[in-house]
Amino acid sequence: MTTVPSSSHVPIRRKPFSPGRALAWAGLILIIFVSVFPIFIVLKTALTSSRQLYAEAASLWPSQPTLINFERVLGLVTPEQAQAAGGSGSSVSFLTSTKNSVVFTALIVVFQTLFSSMAAYAFARLKFPGRDAIFTAFLISLMIPGIVLSIPNFITIKNLGWLNSMPGMVAPFFLMSPFAVFFLRQFFLSLPKETEEAAFLDGASPFTIFWRITLPMSQGPIVTLAILTTIGMWNEFFWPFLIAKDEASYTLPVALQVFKTQTPQGTPDWTGLMAGTFIAIIPVFVLLIAMGRRVVESLAFSGTK
């Protein structure tokens, strides 16, 4: 009888339930709780009426949940009703600010990605004098701290007469981002050249190749980039804060900050503020639910370049 020689595989040991593992699980659960709990508190506060806030400060859920705070900050109730419900008389409209944030983010994501991918393609596939020097210059600009550029850029926008306007807010991000160009150029370099070369030999112009071949082959990284840019621009605070000066132009983060400062006696309108905060969080939730896996992968990928 032939015996099958014991194969060289290592017998798989079930990891024993050790105190180390239990500790790791405890830590992990703690961190997950800590990550999620604050957002829960935001919702709880937003649903609490201002009158109940003091009494229910320690409780985990309002005894009488109400939507009045959301209605107040979205401008859906009259000023008298708003003040009666604890409003501070702030004129900030989160509805307008949300719209501004959507336009701001959408404009930048679409055009920055388009123009950056064109440049990335040129750096990866086309030859022209100064190509590598220009690309190196792009890379160096990645290292410049934001504040160094913001002050002169503010002056540029002021001189263009674009203060307090959407063009002014969008301008520095609209045409390119060094990170986007770098990111896509690295990817384009890694694409196999055969398809493009075949098309070139068939007489296709670089435009056609870029549009019909390279871009469709690059959907993954482009979606990744779009996700990263969307998150970044939706959350952008410093530049819109510098440029937007009245309620019609605020993006959401700026609106929240202004809303917080518009209080007569110094006690912020917490319930309204939390309602506004929750409204700002909703798109993030939607993004996570709709594209959770993609988001996680995009963020992880952004670190492994």
Partner 1 sequence: MTTQTSSIPLTALRRKKPNSQAWIGYLFILPAIIGFVVFYLYPALHGLQISFTDWNLLSDPKSVGLANYNEALHDPKFWSALWITVKYVLWNLPLQTLLSILLAVAMDRLVKSMFIKGLIILPYLLSSVLVAMIFLWMLDPLLGIINQWLDATPIGKQAFFTSTDQAIPTIALINIWKHMGFNALLFYAGIQAIPRTVYEAASIDGATEWTVFWRITLPLLRPVSVFVLVTSLIGSFQIFDTVAVTTQGGPVDSTKVLVYYIYQNAFSFFRMGYATAMSMLLFGLLVVFTLLQLRFLRANESDLD
Instruction: Map the footprint of partner 1 across residues 187-246, applying CB under 8 A.
Output: 205-207, 210, 231, 234-238, 241-242
Buried b / exposed e over 43-79, threshold 16 CB at 10 Å, is bbbbbbbbebbeebeeeeebeeebebbbebbbeebee
CA-CA distance, 85 to 47, in Å (whole number)?
12
Q: Is 287 buried (19+), middle (13-18) or exposed (0-12) by CB count in 10 A?
A: middle
Q: Which stretch binds partner 1 (CB under 8 A): 82-90, 92-100, 212-220, 252-260?
A: 252-260
**Within 71-110, which residues bind partner 1 (CB under 8 A)?**
none
Nearest to partner 1 of 196, 236 (CB atom): 236
Nearest distance, CB of residue 3 and partner 1, angstroms: 24
List Cα–Cα distances, 282 to 183, 233, 276, 303, in angstroms: 28, 15, 10, 26
Residue from 51, 52, 53, 223 touching partner 1 (CB under 8 A): that is: 53
Q: Which of 219, 234, 230, 215 is nearest to 295 (CA)?
A: 230
Q: Which stretch binds partner 1 (CB under 8 A): 63-71, 77-85, 87-95, 146-154?
A: 146-154
**Does 133 help bind partner 1 (rule: CB under 8 A)?**
no
**Within 156-185, which residues bind partner 1 (CB under 8 A)?**
156, 158, 171-172, 174-176, 178, 181
Nearest to partner 1 of 41, 81 (CB atom): 41
Residue from 41, 198, 248, 282 touching partner 1 (CB under 8 A): that is: 41
Buried b / exposed e over 206-232, threshold 16 CB at 10 Å, is eeebbeebbbebbeebbebbbbbbbbe
Residue from 1, 133, 147, 290 touching partner 1 (CB under 8 A): that is: 147
Buried b / exposed e over 148-170, threshold 16 CB at 10 Å, is eeeeebbeebeeeebbebbebbb
Nearest to partner 1 of 225, 231 (CB atom): 231
21-27 long-range Cβ contacts below 8 angstroms, 24+ apart? none
Nearest to partner 1 of 61, 79 (CB atom): 61
Nearest distance, CB of residue 2 and partner 1, angstroms: 28
Residue from 52, 153, 186, 262 touching partner 1 (CB under 8 A): that is: 153
**Does 299 help bind partner 1 (rule: CB under 8 A)?**
yes
**Does 151 help bind partner 1 (rule: CB under 8 A)?**
yes
Nearest to partner 1 of 23, 79 (CB atom): 23
Q: Is 298 buried (19+), middle (13-18) or exposed (0-12) by CB count in 10 A?
A: buried
Residue from 16, 128, 216, 290 touching partner 1 (CB under 8 A): that is: 128
